């Protein structure tokens, strides 16, 4: 019977899951994926096989998925009807690994306690990520669980990249630039090494442009800089987050607008970015289809910032050899890619219009100084790979 790995990505109102089978060559292959969305409001279970065939689509009674823990038992019960063997392991996406976790780790009570100390660094996400881990540890202590961090891939940064110009004591308390989307960047680095090994050994910027957006500078496949910092608020404008924002604006909102921490947090995570700027939507598809000048302003600003941050990251790399677009916008919006390339022509980025319209994977024109790729990301597969690796070599899971 094939081994199976469940990958969980738990948010405040959704549990995304994907089931991998360990196939020939000890490689994980996706069998199906799904989610429970609307937890605590209007829960709904949806799942699809890898072939695209729908496997489940039903609205759940509220009491069955009133919170993450009850929703998790619905996922488990549904999995039991689909699987003919028990799970071999669970891999979890965990947003924060702090300064210490530089790689995925097998979770026991001690590791969980350490991860709980990081909740203040990511109060909106870390508690949701840890809830299913705690639940499985209590109910199924023998089931191996692996935590995979969004921050770990960036722990190859030099100290200068991770510092803010604030007193030393705050650095020691963990007020640092961590960077996020690390599982996505790690996956892209591994794909680029297969698609274009020469470029993968060089200086590459990866733009993860989804509902959250960030960019990462890779040298020889390792992260040297990221546009996201202490939290996932920094850097590029996103669907509903502003990206880079003068700290003085935050002080002004606190003082002159009478906002408190809670209202400010809501504002920064939900009311800014493309949605705030356009006043229309956070969805790039709607903005591209709109004739409203505010939609154009929001998209122009987005493209301007992607181009500007490219210069910032190229300076960290001391040069640039290639560029990769990934995630919802990066993979699906040729107009945005073209607009970015137009602004980066001075740096040697020229696209082949047909390849760009077709989605690549290689979209740079012959003779373009930069090689430019579109590579679909797969954070869940990255988690499944890590989970399998630690299952095979459990003793190497510990970190500093
Ligand atoms: P998540 O972070 O939720 O995984 P995704 O990587 O799926 O996000 O990206 C979601 C975003 O991608 C959407 O908000 C939308 O703006 C954008 N997107 C998806 N498909 C397209 C498309 N065909 N054209 C332009 N933008 C798209």
Could you tell me the two tokens for 134? 């705690």
Q: What is the pLDDT of residue 400?
A: 40
Ligand 1 contacts CB of residue 97 (under 6 A): no
Question: Which of the four pLDDT bands, split at 50, 70 and 90, describes residue 309?
Answer: very high
Q: What is the pLDDT of residue 69?
A: 86
Question: Which of the four pLDDT bands, split at 50, 70 and 90, describes residue 396?
Answer: very low
How many whole angstroms from 283 Cα to the centroid of ligand 1? 7
Question: Which of the four pLDDT bands, split at 50, 70 and 90, describes residue 394?
Answer: low
Ligand 1 contacts CB of residue 332 (under 6 A): yes
What average pLDDT does range 135-154 have in this prediction?
95
Put simply, whether the predicted model's pTM sits higher than 0.85 gets the answer yes
What average pLDDT does range 50-77 have in this prediction?
91
Non-local (6+) Cβ contacts of 101 within 8 A are: 147, 149, 151, 152, 155, 399
Residue with tokens 């709980």: 116
How far, CA to CA in Å, does 176 sit from each of 100, 101, 312? 12, 14, 18
Of residues 26, 4, 27, the one with CA closest to residue 17: 4
How many whole angstroms from 36 Cα to the centroid of ligand 1? 19
Q: How far apart are CA 73 and CA 78, in angstroms?
A: 8
Average pLDDT in the chain: 95
By most ligand atoms within 8 Å of CB, the mutation choice from 10, 284, 299 for ligand 1 is 284
Number of H helices and number of E strands within the chain?
16, 13
What average pLDDT does range 168-194 have in this prediction?
97
- Is 150 assigned a catalytic role? yes
Write the pLDDT tens digit of every residue in 349-376.
Answer: 999 999 999 999 999 999 999 999 999 9
Asked if pLDDT for residue 106 goes beyond 80, the answer is yes
Read out DSSP for 350-385?
A: -B-HHHHHHT-SB-BPTT-SSEEEE----HHHHHHH
Q: What is the pLDDT of residue 395?
A: 56
The DSSP output letter for 202 is S
What average pLDDT does range 166-189 have in this prediction?
97
Q: What is the pLDDT of residue 397?
A: 43
Q: What is the pLDDT of residue 398?
A: 47
Of residues 99, 344, 321, 152, the one with CA closest to residue 220: 321
The DSSP output letter for 399 is -
Question: Which of the four pLDDT bands, split at 50, 70 and 90, describes residue 21?
Answer: very high
What average pLDDT does range 200-211 have in this prediction?
97
């Amino acid at each position: 019977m094939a081994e199976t790995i469940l990958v969980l990505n738990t948010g405040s109102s959704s549990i995304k899951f994907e089931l991998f089978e360990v196939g020939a060559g000890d490689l994980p292959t996706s069998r199906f994926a799904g989610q429970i969305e609307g937890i605590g409001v209007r829960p709904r279970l949806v799942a699809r096989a890898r072939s695209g065939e729908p496997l489940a689509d039903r609205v759940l009674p509220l009491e069955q998925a009133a919170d993450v823990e009850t929703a998790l038992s619905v996922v488990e019960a549904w999995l039991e009807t689909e699987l003919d063997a028990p799970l071999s392991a669970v891999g979890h996406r965990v947003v924060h690994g702090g300064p210490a976790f530089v790689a995925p780790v097998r979770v026991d009570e001690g590791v969980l306690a350490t991860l709980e100390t990081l909740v203040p660094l990511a109060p909106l996400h870390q508690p949701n990520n840890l809830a299913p881990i705690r639940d499985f540890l209590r109910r199924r202590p023998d089931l191996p669980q692996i935590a995979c961090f969004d921050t770990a891939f960036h722990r190859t940064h030099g100290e200068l990249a991770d510092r803010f110009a604030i007193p030393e004591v705050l650095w020691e308390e963990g007020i640092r630039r961590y960077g996020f989307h690390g599982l996505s960047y790690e996956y892209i680095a591994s794909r680029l090494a297969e698609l274009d090994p020469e470029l993968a050994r060089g200086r590459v910027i990866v733009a993860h442009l989804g509902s959250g957006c960030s960019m990462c500078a890779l040298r020889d496949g390792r992260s040297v800089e990221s546009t996201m910092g202490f939290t996932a608020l920094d850097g590029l404008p996103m669907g509903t987050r502003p990206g880079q924002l003068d700290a003085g604006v935050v002080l002004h909102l606190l003082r002159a607008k009478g906002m408190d921490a809670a209202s400010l947090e809501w504002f920064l995570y939900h009311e800014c970015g493309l949605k705030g700027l356009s006043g229309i939507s956070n969805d790039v598809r709607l903005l591209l289809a709109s004739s409203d000048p505010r939609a154009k302003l929001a998209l122009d600003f987005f493209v301007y910032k992607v181009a500007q941050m490219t210069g910032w990251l190229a300076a960290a790399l001391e040069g640039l050899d290639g560029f990769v677009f990934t995630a919802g916008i990066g993979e699906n919006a040729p107009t945005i890619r073209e607009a970015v390339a137009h602004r980066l022509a001075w740096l040697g980025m020229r696209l082949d219009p047909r390849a760009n319209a077709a989605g690549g994977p290689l979209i740079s024109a012959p003779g373009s100084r930069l090689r430019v790729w579109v590579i679909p990301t797969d954070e869940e597969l990255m988690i499944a790979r890590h989970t399998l690796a630690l299952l095979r070599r459990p003793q190497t899971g510990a970190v500093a």
